A and B are shown apart, each in its own frame.
Chain A
């Protein structure tokens, strides 16, 4: 009854027909059968336009009735002269309806808010992009969304900027999903975004970090590939760019950076999953990041998320010689791995790319390091091969949580060691 009332009130309001201003809802308690009969008589008086929500039946049950403003006096006189007990349930029905309408509008908005985004499951590209908007909206004092370019298929490349203001602050760069099949990375990135936004103000570490530095987070570095893993091939790794002279599609975006480009560990075969492409930064996804970093001018750390293998690596990949900052990077890497391990016992192996995984040219952290960004790390998240790329969704949040501890250790070090 009430629901019909609400809807009809809204419908009426929309068509400027009827409102319920001044209407009251009375709760009537009949004490005997005679009073019940009197109330049943009231039911028949159509000119009063009474709307019984609970009809008179037995003295045990209350009678609820909506009384239009114009009938109020007549009804109350009737009840009082017959010694029928009543109370006012609702003083003014229109007030209630207005409040309800507002509530409904509020909850509609909330459905799009991040309180309903499930961080423990894998999402489509559209859903992740919607959540980026929600985060920027809900935490607008510190989160904003920037577009740094477009993918080959013209998907926007969205970066979340975490900042407490200032001008020309130094910053930390984090990216995920450069290889599209590594789903736990995009999923962890969006969780980390939420974590940073929520913890600002309550967590001492992230609060002090954001007071001094900005954080840039690119949650989906390869949106074309990510879309393809949802629609056609879950195991797709590369971009989706067309290759001149080949039927094969896509370039390995982590062999396409200007660092030992075209060297060992990358393929010149377009059909290969590690095809480096025609030239360094030929992929728009790579070039967009390079341009952003160069234009910014004050990026102090470059952190990139991959899966799987549970590794925490520093340069180099294109050559097997140690970087100049080897000792500091290795020590920091060990500390970060230790933080990660502390939560669920997940073990990360620390080392250079070349010695830990394989020699691979054209990789992003080699480029960032040689460009001058000392704190360049690549993480390979869970697991070590049991599920591999197909990591169960139940492991997303634990992975994100432990990864966050490792990243925080690195970020704290960067905060405390500016250069």
Chain B
């Protein structure tokens, strides 16, 4: 029998649900963020794991007045701690259509003479040049995937900063970026460098094709 959930675990489950929803529904022109948890219940399933039933309110980062209600179920697996938790969710209502902004971003990148390269987004003072905001939101989406794949009941990951991003040249329609980001893990308070290879297409959404945890540089 597993020990009972720590009372802070529901908050982490909710953050994971939000990360997952952002991964599935977010993009360079849309970022979703957890605004509130309106209900939370846990259910122990013998020999399987622990399930969280959540009711959440998410808001659109770019337009804070746009909110959607979601229900989510998260199953953290017993035993195999390397298995990603199962996340199922439903969104009530419509998310704002972002086709126009997506196409603008897509065309902007496609028309660059040289592949995009950038560092430190945001910078130390929180500045993000406007043309980098879609790059940042895309990283957030990909980080949601990484968070989902690596989360347990006792972890919560947020994207802290993009240290480096390089566009990867492609011969097809997709845009591809190689990111080196810093993830902030809440429970340990560690800052973890993580590399992510991200594909995106306005009609086909976001895909993280490869990602890897990086060693932390020695701090003197």
Contacts and interface: CB of A to CB of B under 8 A. Distances in A.
Contact of A355 (B7, B34, B36, B140): B7
B220 A320 contact: no
Nearest to B184: A388
Contacts of B123: 390
Interface in A86-121: 121
> Among the interface residues B34, B126, B182, B184, which one has the most CB atoms of the partner chain A within 10 A?
B126
A210 B36 CA distance: 37
25 contacts: A122-B124, A233-B219, A234-B124, A247-B220, A271-B219, A273-B190, A274-B188, A347-B36, A349-B11, A354-B6, A355-B7, A356-B11, A358-B8, A358-B187, A359-B6, A384-B34, A384-B35, A385-B33, A386-B61, A390-B125, A391-B126, A392-B125, A392-B126, A393-B125, A395-B126
B35 A320 contact: no
Interface string B175-200: 00000001010111111000000000
Interface string A331-348: 000000000000000010
Interface of B: 6-8, 11, 15, 31, 33-36, 61, 122-128, 140, 158-161, 182, 184, 186-191, 218-220
A392 B136 CA distance: 14
Contacts of B186: 357-358
A358 B161 contact: no
Contacts of B8: 354-359
A320 B36 contact: no
Contacts of A230: 124
Interface of A: 121-122, 229-230, 233-237, 247-250, 252, 265, 267, 271-274, 320, 347, 349, 354-359, 384-395
Contact of B35 (A121, A249, A267, A347): A347
B32 to A, nearest CB: 10
Contacts of B124: 122, 229-230, 234, 390
A389 B122 CA distance: 10
Contacts of B184: 235, 388-389
A387 B31 CA distance: 12
Contacts of A122: 124-125
B134 to A, nearest CB: 15
A385 B127 contact: no
Given A235-B191, A388-B184, A392-B125, A320 B34 contact: no
B6 A273 contact: no
Main secondary structure of the interface of A (DSSP, over half): loop
A220 to B, nearest CB: 16
A362 B127 CA distance: 34
A384 B159 CA distance: 11
A247 B161 contact: no
Given A249-B220, A389-B184, A237 B189 contact: yes
Contacts of A384: 33-35
B139 to A, nearest CB: 12
A271 to B, nearest CB: 8
A250 B160 CA distance: 21
Contacts of A394: 126
A217 B214 CA distance: 40
A376 B61 CA distance: 33
A390 B6 CA distance: 29
Contact of B190 (A234, A272, A358, A385): A272
A267 B188 contact: yes
B202 to A, nearest CB: 23
The 6 closest A-B pairs by CB, nearest first: A392-B126, A355-B7, A385-B158, A273-B189, A390-B122, A235-B191
Contacts of A320: 6-7
A250 B219 CA distance: 10
A36 B165 CA distance: 73
B11 A235 contact: no
Nearest to A389: B160
Contacts of B61: 386
Contacts of A250: 219
A233 B160 CA distance: 13
A234 B6 CA distance: 31
A241 to B, nearest CB: 13
Given A235-B182, A388-B184, A389-B184, A248 B219 contact: yes
Nearest to B190: A273
B188 A392 contact: no
A273 B190 CA distance: 6
Nearest to A234: B124
A274 B191 CA distance: 11
Contact of A354 (B7, B34, B127): B7
Contacts of B125: 121-122, 390, 392-393
Nearest to B120: A234
Contacts of B35: 347, 384
Contact of A247 (B122, B159, B218): B218
A235 B6 contact: no
Contacts of B220: 247, 249
Contact of A392 (B122, B158, B161, B191): B122
